[in-house]
Structure 1
């Protein structure tokens, strides 16, 4: 069976990635920074890094997105990027007047050993207005993925601004890299439970804006600094994801006792209790999420959601004959794959392959944990690329692909239906508004999957049919 692409050189096997099933760390950090009010991301590295990230984000979110760059040249690579960095920071301050500049390092700046903390100290001792705050996330793309960069940036903001105080009645919610519509859904759920909830980060407005009368250099929205400060006195933190950036290649530290996620930092340094859950996709995992909300709020789940749950169960029953026994290939970032596999296992779809470009070392054990009946039958692959996925599909004949747009060419070549979920979605409108979470998001996912299978069967039939 095809396992990975390899190039043999001088008697040694080297993996050759072809079309990676992951994106770069600074991209994830840039998305996270856009979720904090008044923040402008700054990529400390070459102009190409910032251009690549803007291209991906604009294509997915369909919004103008400014990401600054320190614009390395050959001189910067040799002599260091301090001059470029300081000039970039001053230009951002002069033009944007941001509350925060969120800095992400790149492969190049990390490799030459640029000390961004020292650069900031020098900048502040020079001609500096003192009104702008700086946050630094170490995000070289040779270590980890866009998800690692996302969590690193969130943790950096929390470590910078959170303040310890007597516990209040508010909660923190760390949802991970989800859609803007999922964030709005989570905020609505918090309100319905009567919980004051800070989403860290909240890019539901800054990356999915209404029409503007006039152009705004920094879009409105985002988690406020007051909310980040209060995160240190929350009743509890809920964090979605069990892989996160806790794996063997992620984070910038190897000691597992050192905090890596923002929620973990609050738990260890500010005594904020942490509840860690898989992404609430499907009934089982959404039930677990709502049970925690009931404990924290002291209220029963509102009838609105019990009715959503009931309709979802009814849909499961109605469509079971169309999905049971179908074989799916699921790909994407690791926590998303875990959540999606738990949902598919719940509805009777066999997960033939669960693949990710991440290399945490945790993916297989988490899938086994949340797919307890059939997890041992699932082929799990970390560090996979799309050519490896294609080769696997050619040998194993799955029925459907579930993942983002980068896998479309495989579906097209093999004549398979594809359900576009997650990030990035470049070839459809509304990718940022897809719901994945909760009973409502699961209902939409379920309907899409069932209808895709029915449509494929209709299109493949020699006679076609009108009634199901």
Structure 2
């Protein structure tokens, strides 16, 4: 066996989250759905706590609760019993079943178990007394939470989407964005006069109004009946430059039902948002509404006003691949130099996407690192003298060590309030991000000044 001269270093503070967590979040964005983890109880407990800390909303995740015995004999009986328990206690319209490392390692054939469960239920299936069941393979050792999210969305499209009638609706696959972003996307579609089928839609299920009584399944989410007719839509719009073009939900709907697919980068900043609005103009056949043209104009004015504060500042950007690509596109157009773009993902398209959004603006492509943890990120970044960190709250310890601002975006945000209400997308989102970045740099300058200027 060939020995590597390099010392072995384990993953230290991963720059990603586990794959089934992403699947649970995707399932949460479907009306009447209970996410169900086929694995140990600890997985569901960890994920519930992690998600609640960001969204500040209740988050139920069912579990087949496997133990040591099931690692030997398999978890089929527990899965079937767990499904019956959820049916009895929740009245779900859909149960989204995601596997974990344990069940994938021992080799449980979940699609076969689900088919057997349906057959055993017999009359209940024919009378639609049991919910729809969607399963997806999401062992953590095979990818990130974003890959789990996208895999669950594709599984839903694969197992539920159909063509019942032709409509003028537009399928929108937004990726993993905040509830505030989703509400804004719905507003944009409405302003264009387009009916949207947004899959998934977390805007109410993970950021809803206060309820007088506890609701086991919160209202909201993409209606299942809309998903069943996605094959009849006029077009699909899918956000994200690093998505695998052969395995996305949008590609599946295009190949199976002939619905035209429009792929566009995450619309963060001026150029990427222009591309998104251009697609909507082509689909609808009308120009961008004046309200959004005015927001674009105000954003350009703010770029000019804020340039003196941000010009040539050096930033490290990290997080989910598509979010980092969108943020990088935004940062370079306001004059900030991303010196390192990093992600725990390994899509194989990350570097290419960063090159695409920086090619016409920067003389050199920023350093791009995929599959990294925060230990590796810190080693690389310390030599680059960054003045700003842009990413989620897991990077706080680096910002504190280097005494530089951290502008929190994406997921998870556990050390600040309101992470679910951060707006990233569109002209409006870029305006919010610009204001936060400029103010973070001003605050840093004030804090470091012995004079403490009150006018900057």
**TM-score higher than 0.5 here?**
yes
Equivalent residue for 2:67, pick from 69, 73, 84: 73
User: Are the counterparts in 2 of residues 21 and 386 from structure 1 also a CA contact under 8 Å?
Assistant: yes
**What's the counterpart of residue 343 of structure 2?**
356
For 2:258, the equivalent position in structure 1 comes to 271
Report the 3-state secondary structure (helix = DSSP H, G, I; strand = E; otherwise coil) of the residue aligned with 1:376.
coil
3-state SS of the aligned residue for 1:219? coil
- Tell me if structure 2 keeps the 8 A contact 1:137–1:152: yes
CA distance in 2, matches of 1:310, 1:148: 36
Query: CA–CA distance in 1 between the matches of 2:310 and 2:136?
Result: 43
Give the C-alpha shift of residue 388 in structure 1. Answer: 1.5
Which residue of structure 1 lines up, in the alignment, with residue 441 of structure 2? 453
- Of the three residues 30, 40, 43, the one matched with 1:49 is 43
State the distance in 2 between where 1:424 and 1:84 align. Answer: 31
Supply the distance in 1 between the matched residues of 2:316 and 2:61 (Cα, whole angstroms).
34
Q: Deviations over 1:253-292 (max 9, x none)?
A: xxx7xx4211010111111111101100001111111111
- Cα displacement (A) at 1:167: 4.0
The secondary structure found in structure 2 opposite 1:19 is coil
Q: Which of 330, 353, 363 is matched with 1:366 structurally? A: 353
8 A Cα contact 1:22 1:145, kept in partner:
yes
**Which 4+ runs in 1 deviate beyond 3 A?**
8-15
Distance of 1:274 and 1:77 partners within structure 2: 42
1:126 counterpart SS class: helix
Is 1:343 the counterpart of 2:342? The answer is no
Unaligned runs of 5+ in 2: none
Post-superposition offset of 1:164:
2.6
| 1:233 to partner: Cα distance | 1.1
Match of 1:465 among 450, 453, 456: 453
Task: Answer yes or no: is 1:120 the counterpart of 2:119.
Answer: no
Work out which of the residue numbers 20, 42, 51 in structure 2 matches 1:26.
20
Paired residues for 1:194-213 under 5 Å: 194-213=193-212
- Residue by residue, what CA displacement relative to the aligned partner does 1:164-212 show, whole Å, maximum 9, x if unpaired? 3564211010000000000000000000000011111101111111010
Tell me, in whole angstroms, the C-alpha distance in 2 between the residues paired with 1:316 and 1:177: 27
Residues 390, 11 of structure 1: CA spacing in aligned structure 2 closer, same or farther, 3 A cutoff?
Answer: closer
> Which 5+ residue runs of structure 1 have no aligned equivalent?
1-7, 247-255
C-alpha distance in 2 between matches for 1:126 and 1:27: 29
Matches within 5 A, 1:387-466: 387-466=375-454
Question: 1:162 matched to which residue of 2?
Answer: 161
Q: 1:37 to 1:166 in 2, by over 3 A?
A: closer
Residue of structure 2 in register with 1:239 after alignment: 238
Summarize the alignment of residues 87-98 of structure 1 with structure 2, pairs less than 5 Å apart: 87-98=81-92
What residue is the counterpart of 1:253 in the other structure? Answer: none
- Native 8 Å contact 2:241 2:322 kept in 1: yes
What TM-score results when the alignment is normalised by the length of structure 2? 0.96
**Residues 1:369 and 1:124: Cα distance change in structure 2 (over 3 Å):** same
Cα distance in 2 for residues equivalent to 1:202 and 1:19: 29
Secondary structure at 1:204's aligned position in 2? coil
Return closer, same or farther for 1:351/1:93 CA change in 2, 3 Å cut-off.
Answer: same
Distance 1:186 1:298 in 2: 18
* Residue 134 to residue 405, structure 1, CA distance change in 2 (3 Å): same
Report the TM-score, using the length of structure 1 for normalisation.
Answer: 0.93
Q: What is residue 11 of structure 2 aligned with on the other side?
A: 17
User: Is 1:29–1:153's contact at 8 Å kept on the other side of the alignment?
Assistant: yes
The answer (yes or no) to whether the contact 1:369–1:375 under 8 Å persists in 2 is: no
Residue 312 of structure 1 is matched in structure 2 by 299
2:264 matches 1:286: no
Residue 317 of structure 2: aligned partner: 330
1:402 counterpart SS class: strand
2:166 & 2:92 partners in 1: Cα distance? 30
Q: Deviation per CA, 1:42-82, whole angstroms, max 9, x where unpaired?
A: 00111111111101100000011100111110001011011
Q: Distance in 1 between matches of 2:350 and 2:119?
A: 46
CA apart distance, 1:126: 2.4
Task: State the Cα distance separating 1:464 from its structure 2 match.
Answer: 1.5
SS of equivalent residue, structure 1 residue 377: coil
- SS of residue paired to 1:181: helix
SS across alignment from 1:328: strand
Partner Cα separation in structure 2 for residue 113 and residue 391 of structure 1: 38
- For 1:292 and 1:365, the matched residues in 2 are separated by 22
**What CA deviation, in whole Å up to 9, does each residue of 1:18-49 have, x standing for no partner?**
00000001000000000111110000111111
For residues 277 and 69 of structure 2, what CA distance do their matches in structure 1 show?
55
Q: Is residue 37 from structure 1 mapped to residue 24 from structure 2 by the alignment?
A: no
Q: 2:275 and 2:363 mapped to 1: Cα distance?
A: 20
Q: 1:10 offset after TM fit, Å?
A: 7.8
